[in-house]
Structure 1
Amino acid sequence: MARRLRPVELDFVGTAPTRLVFTAGLSAPPEAVYRALAEDVTGWPRWFGAVTMCRPTAGGAGREVRLKGGVRFQETILASESGERYAYRVDVTNAPAIRALLEEWRLTPAGPAGPAGTGTRVRWTFAAAGPAPLRLALRLGRPGLGRAFRDAVRALDRRLASTPA
């Protein structure tokens, strides 16, 4: 059953009771990574293995996301800064126990790495609030979430390398 979560703003990324932060590098420049994150929303399932469907809603101000296992999210985009940041909060989900959830993708140039001359350092923050059992589950699930992130970033990097600019 879907339920509405507590609406949070961008500052939640730094104040959430549970914050999982992961980083990785890509050879693609920040602008290309940003386009894949924010502009090619329907393309997420092609590089993020946990995502089975992703589509823009509300004229691009939101997203509907489905994950393997049947978890669904309705999200609001909170930040969309070309080449720098993409962040969204979950407004409605069928995932149990979560009270608030915000994800932020920060992009920074990473120096010479690819044919275009610059790579990208990606920092993904998964900020959540919920009862103690959820916080424990997220801490225990951190290695798996980190692996899913790293696999997704590698797949995205391969995808961007094979896509003409």
Structure 2
Amino acid sequence: MKRRSLQDNDCPIARSLDTIGDWWSLLIVRDALIGKRRFSDFQKSLGLAKNILAARLRKLVADGVLELAPASDGSAYQEYVLTDKGRDLMIVLVALRQWGEHHLFPPGECDNILVDIDRGEKVAPLRVLAKDGRALTPSDVRVSTRSDASRGRRTRS
């Protein structure tokens, strides 16, 4: 069954999933964020069939998440480098990671942690904040149209 494109969907989440919505794409971006750049590095890390990896890399390049660049060692190879669009996925991956640490591992089982390099401390949990810095919960937000927001509507849904 062919997957239906969500690129014209009105929902930003649906459009985002159209680009990075399969687990292999997110794991490729994860690996790129930690410094992997070569096809062979991705293949070794993920254990993914070469044809599937090649297809995911092509799509990520076509969607502007990765770009091809000459190999940093001067060889004839090309490397996959994150674009700004790709680097902006860091917060998505940190959110997924933190959700997984909290809900999918018993306390103390997850033996690798995300650390702030400068301080050597575990990264703080992500939070959704209001413009004034207040932490928001799902009951504190709603999806609104631009016209609702510009009129300052305060209805909840």
Give the number of the structure whose residues are more often helix, by fraction: 2
CA radius of gyration, larger in: 2
TM-score (norm: length of structure 1): 0.25
Give the number of the structure whose residues are more often strand, by fraction: 1
